Amino acid sequence: MSFYVTTPIYYVNAQPHLGHAYTSIAADVLARHHRRRGDDTFFLTGTDEHGEPVADAARAQGLEPRAWADLNAEKFKALLPAIGVAPDFFIRTTDAEHKRRVQEVLQRVYDNGHVYKGLYEGWYCPRCADFKTESEILDGNRCPIHEIELTREQEENWFFRLSAFQGRLEQLFESQPDFVAPARARHEAQAFIAQGLQDVSLSRAKLRWGVEVPWDEGHVFYVWFDALLNYYTALGYARAGEDLTARYWPPSVHLVGKEILKFHTLYWPAMLWAAGLELPRQVFVHGFLQGSDGRKMSKSLGNGLDPFAVLERYGADALRFYLLRDVSFGGDGNVGMDAVASRYEAELANEYGNLVSRTLAMLVRYRDGRIPEAPVDPVLESELASLAAEVAAAIDGVDPSGGLELIWQRVRRLNRYVEERKPWELARDQDASTSLDSVLVTLHRGLQVVTTELGPYMPDTSARVLQALAAIPLEVIPPLFPKTP
Ligand code: MSP
């Protein structure tokens, strides 16, 4: 089985922040999980570097767009190892191979008769790089996302005949209801279709910073089509001398935030049809992380969560755990440093960390670090045996938070087991030696199972604990989740 997962490619006109880390972490958890299951896995992320927002930001810094993009792409790349995210390839839309393939695919779309020249007039948001419909805009002709005033723009453009795909899209959503998940996102996409799809601009004449339209050199492609195609072009050159397209196309799942649903669930499938390419199996639309007060995170409100502050204080595994644990993946959720601190102490340090240190310490104290030969408690054995399949089902449903909850139920079960069986009392009773063996073996086995399942979420912690379980260290190991100042 192959598994191909992507994140949106991030605009280089901003600094990497928690929202970018969030989608990348979720994709990384899916990729690590599938890889462990033996699936032939490919995980793609990268940066979106063309278009007006980037050209404008570069100009504001007194730089050429390419120089500005180079600077910022490095920051997005550097974020990944810091948060434990290991993609198979990092695409930049300024890569020559990407641009060449964008031209190839869109030339095909043109040759297939899906493109025409027309005059475009509409309300344009330079931050979204998108025209807005009358029904979307806020009072005072403002952008519904950025709330800035929109400009009325008119220009001669190449158009993509999106309207011609109306019926086919309706049919797609009916025949393949899980093409867009969760259901709320599917309904939103269907509501867009129900309004009636209009043709969309495929090129911009005013802008120079983009991929040139091969049949009309005065134009560059509208940045969104250049960007969407990254999911396809990357497979052609991610491995030198090898084309991975046949191996991984179509994608298993695109993870995207809810603000870019329209592009991924309407424009993208239509474009793929127009180019004669297979559609991804699923677009999974997740919610937004908001400040601790439920408002959009912003520096001026001081309600944001800085990923770098969390990394410094608690480390990458804790950040990954926190984001997928505190906000159910798919919905919106509020995040803040206080919540990180309380999850860290209550769950990572007290529940999981203690279970690990207690178990290792008892194996050393009572059995000199040897794992006794004894049967695992049959009740726990069966509860543990089903965990891997349950977590796999959650991950297949793109529910990493659900998977984590299933694991945590077992962590709590093991802690209850310790309280119930009181191994320290068994240790004082010479006749209870077999019982103590069984309790120790059960805890050891239980920790192996939960820690293996935790691997995709907390790769570092999991590797350290599995190593300690394989060869019990006789000296006291430092706490996994130390108290923080
Ligand atoms: N470049 C486009 C995407 C092109 S994909 C072909 C873009 N870039 S972006 O830099 O704005 O990144 C948007 C994505 O970052 C969101 O879709 C989401 O994945 C992530 N997030 C950014 N802010 C976020 C939150 N506050 N909360 C959750 N995710 C957020 O759009």
- Give pLDDT tens digits for 194-245: 999 999 999 988 778 999 999 998 899 999 999 999 999 999 999 999 999 9
For residue 387, give the nearest of 444, 452, 343 by alpha carbon: 452
The alpha carbon of 477 and the centre of ligand 1 are apart by a number of angstroms equal to 40
Instruction: Report the nearest-CA residue for atom 9 of ligand 1.
Output: 10
Whole-angstrom distance, CA of residue 363 vs CA of residue 285: 45
Whole-angstrom distance, CA of residue 396 vs CA of residue 315: 27
17 in catalytic set? yes
Instruction: Report the nearest-CA residue for atom 25 of ligand 1.
Output: 19
Write phi, then psi, for 98 (nearest 5 degrees): -65, -50
Q: Amino acid letter at 307?
A: P
Residue 230 Cα: closest atom of ligand 1: 6
128 in catalytic set? yes
- Determine the Cα angle at 297 with ends 294 and 299, to 5°: 135
- Superfamily of domain 2-287 in CATH is HUPs (3.40.50.620)
Residues within 6 Å of ligand 1 by CB? 8-11, 19-20, 22-23, 48, 227-228, 256-257, 259-260, 288-289
Q: 478: number of CA atoms within 13 Å, CB side? A: 4
Q: In sequence order, which residues have a C-beta less than 8 Å from that of residue 275 and are 6 or more positions away?
A: 105, 106, 108, 109, 112
Q: Which residues of the chain have pLDDT under 50?
A: none
Residue ranges of domains in the chain: 2-287, 338-470
The alpha carbon of 485 and the centre of ligand 1 are apart by a number of angstroms equal to 33
146 in catalytic set? yes
Choosing from 222, 228, 259 the residue with most ligand 1 atoms within 8 A of its CB, the one to mutate for a pocket test is 259
Choosing from 5, 11, 253, 327 the residue with most ligand 1 atoms within 8 A of its CB, the one to mutate for a pocket test is 11
Residue 260 Cα: closest atom of ligand 1: 17
The alpha carbon of 330 and the centre of ligand 1 are apart by a number of angstroms equal to 14
pLDDT in tens, 376-425: 999 999 999 999 999 999 999 999 999 999 999 999 999 999 999 999 99
**What is the value of pTM for the model shown?**
0.95
- Sign of torsion over alpha carbons 255, 260, 262, 264: negative
Residue 287 Cα: closest atom of ligand 1: 28
Q: What is the CATH number of domain 338-470?
A: 1.10.730.10
SS3 112: coil
The alpha carbon of 128 and the centre of ligand 1 are apart by a number of angstroms equal to 11
pLDDT at 485: 64
Whole-angstrom distance, CA of residue 334 vs CA of residue 347: 18
